[in-house]
Amino acid sequence: MKVSQKEIEQFFSNHKGWSLKGQVLEKTFVFKDFKEAVEFVSKIEPIADSMNHHPDICIYYNRVIIQLTTHDVGGLTDLDIKLAEEIESLKK
């Protein structure tokens, strides 16, 4: 089930740097170099697999762009929010 606008706004108030592009939750993470960027992505993989929910990921040298949406429902669901929170916790 899609999350409400209120749930999205609550997520934004607690997690800086995320934005909504249409029905896609997106954030760019910046690292020292390519190695750190790849290491970050490698930490996401087991979390995404355990949730059976996988982000779209682009690596541009030291930047990692994460995009989350639930294609089956055509928008954001609680899985997207939960995965974003897990990803966010990796950067701390």
User: Rounded CA gap, 16 and 2, in Å?
Assistant: 21
Query: Which CATH class, in words, describes the domain spanning 5-91?
Result: alpha beta
Q: Where are the domains of the chain?
A: 5-91
Instruction: Please tell me what DSSP assigns to residue 3.
Output: P
pLDDT at 1: 84
Tell me how far apart the alpha carbons of residues 13 and 15 are, in angstroms, rounded to a whole number.
6
Q: Residues 22-25: contacts with CB within 8 Å, 24+ apart? A: 23/69, 23/74, 23/75, 23/76, 24/67, 24/68, 24/69, 25/67, 25/68, 25/69, 25/76, 25/80, 25/81, 25/84
27-53 pLDDT per residue, tens: 999 999 999 999 999 999 999 999 999
Residue 92 has pLDDT above 80, yes or no: no
* pTM of the predicted model as reported, rounded to 2 decimal places: 0.93
